[in-house]
A and B are shown apart, each in its own frame.
Chain A
Amino acid sequence: MDKIIVEVCAGTHCTMMGAMNIMDAVASLSEIRKDMEPCCEVEVRPIKCMDLCKNGSQGPFVTVNGALVERAESDAVMAAIMQHCSGHRKAGE
Chain B
Amino acid sequence: MRGIFTPITKIRRQVFTEVARYAYERDLTQSDFNYFYESSYRIIPGEVAQYRDSVFKERAIIRERLRLAMGLPMRPTDTHLSLTQGMAESATPNKHLDKPLVNVIPFACEACPTDTIKVSDNCRKCLAHPCTAVCPVKAVSIGKHAAVIDQDTCIKCGRCVQACPYHAIERFGRPCAEACGADAIFSDALGRAEIDQDKCVACGLCIVSCPFAAIADKSEIFQLITAIRTGRTVYAIIAPSFVGQFGPLATPGKIISGLKMLGMARVVEVGWGADFGSMHEADEFLAQRKLS
Contact = CB atoms under 8 A, between A and B. Distances in A.
A57 interface: no
Nearest to B17: A16
A17 B13 contact: yes
B249 A10 contact: yes
B13 A20 contact: no
A87 interface: no
B10 A20 contact: no
B247 interface: yes
Contact of A15 (B4, B10, B247): B247
A20 B249 CA distance: 9
A35 B122 CA distance: 30
Interface in A10-41: 10, 15-18, 20-22
A16 B5 contact: no
Specify which of A10, A15, A16 lies most central, judged by the most chain B CB atoms within 10 Å of its CB: A16
B4 A16 contact: no
B17 A20 contact: no
A46 B9 CA distance: 21
A20 to B, nearest CB: 4
A21 B249 CA distance: 12
A19 B249 CA distance: 12
A29 to B, nearest CB: 13
Interface in B1-48: 4-5, 9-10, 13, 17
Nearest to B13: A16
Main secondary structure of the interface of A (DSSP, over half): helix
B247 A20 contact: yes
A17 B11 CA distance: 9
Interface in B237-288: 246-247, 249
Nearest to B5: A21
Nearest to B4: A21
A17 B249 contact: no
A22 to B, nearest CB: 8
A18 B10 contact: yes
A73 to B, nearest CB: 9
Contacts of A17: 10, 13
Nearest to B16: A16
A16 B249 CA distance: 13
Interface in B157-184: none
B5 A18 contact: yes
Contacts of A18: 5, 9-10
Interface of B: 4-5, 9-10, 13, 17, 246-247, 249
Q: Across chains A and B, which 9 residue pairs bring their CB atoms closest together, nearest first?
A: A21-B5, A18-B5, A20-B247, A16-B13, A18-B10, A10-B249, A17-B10, A46-B249, A18-B9
Interface of A: 10, 15-18, 20-22, 46
Given A15-B247, A17-B13, 9 more contacts: A10-B249, A15-B246, A16-B17, A17-B10, A18-B10, A20-B247, A20-B249, A21-B5, A46-B249
